[in-house]
């Protein structure tokens, strides 16, 4: 069994027994130890892939990408989110909507460009999650992405998806109430 599989299984055993507040505190400690060079950035992966809490997944995903950028040089920021994008594309994250939203919130043009190909693979619930993670204050790159996404789905049968995207673009009014 790979070390990552073992780390995920261990995380999933703790998940039902630990409230989100305890998992967030653990995540904060892990981020501090990574910044201090004490732990590898892969320590964030179980939080990003194995948790269901939007905030924990988004925070772990963004910390993972940030730690990649901090430890690599030059053109690395163009590929900083490549692994996390794969988590979405391959359905590896339990909460891939939160991973998607966290990546979009980074306002990185290279990451957003690569997310374009994944817009139509997300379910309505995952789109709602991504929109929750983004919140009502989206940056210009995310706003342009959402507008393009809304245009892409048009007036077809994807009403729930259209409502979620429209609410974020309107500044969060309606707070995703179905």
Per-residue model confidence (pLDDT) at position 55: 97
Asked if residue 173 has pLDDT above 70, the reply is: no
Q: What are phi and psi of 157, to 5 degrees?
A: -80, 5
Per-residue model confidence (pLDDT) at position 101: 97
Residue 136's SS3 state is coil
Q: What pTM does this model have?
A: 0.88
Per-residue model confidence (pLDDT) at position 57: 98
| DSSP summary character for residue 41 | G
Per-residue model confidence (pLDDT) at position 177: 37
């Amino acid at each position: 069994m790979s070390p990552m599989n073992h780390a995920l299984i261990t995380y999933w055993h703790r998940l039902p027994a630990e409230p989100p507040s305890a998992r967030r505190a653990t995540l904060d400690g892990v981020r501090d130890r990574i910044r201090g060079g004490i732990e590898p950035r892969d320590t964030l992966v179980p939080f990003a892939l194995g948790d269901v809490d939007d905030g924990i997944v988004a925070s772990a995903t963004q910390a993972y990408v940030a730690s990649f950028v901090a430890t690599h040089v030059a053109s690395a920021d163009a590929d900083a989110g490549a692994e996390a994008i794969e988590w979405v594309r391959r359905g590896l994250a339990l909460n891939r909507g939160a991973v998607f939203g966290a990546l979009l919130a980074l306002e990185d043009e290279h990451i957003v460009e690569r997310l374009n190909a994944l817009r139509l693979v997300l379910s309505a619930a995952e789109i709602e999650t991504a929109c929750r993670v983004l919140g009502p204050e989206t940056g210009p790159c995310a706003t342009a992405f959402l507008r393009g996404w809304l245009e892409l789905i048009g007036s077809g049968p994807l009403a729930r998806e259209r409502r979620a995207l429209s609410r974020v673009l309107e500044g969060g009014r309606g707070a995703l109430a179905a």
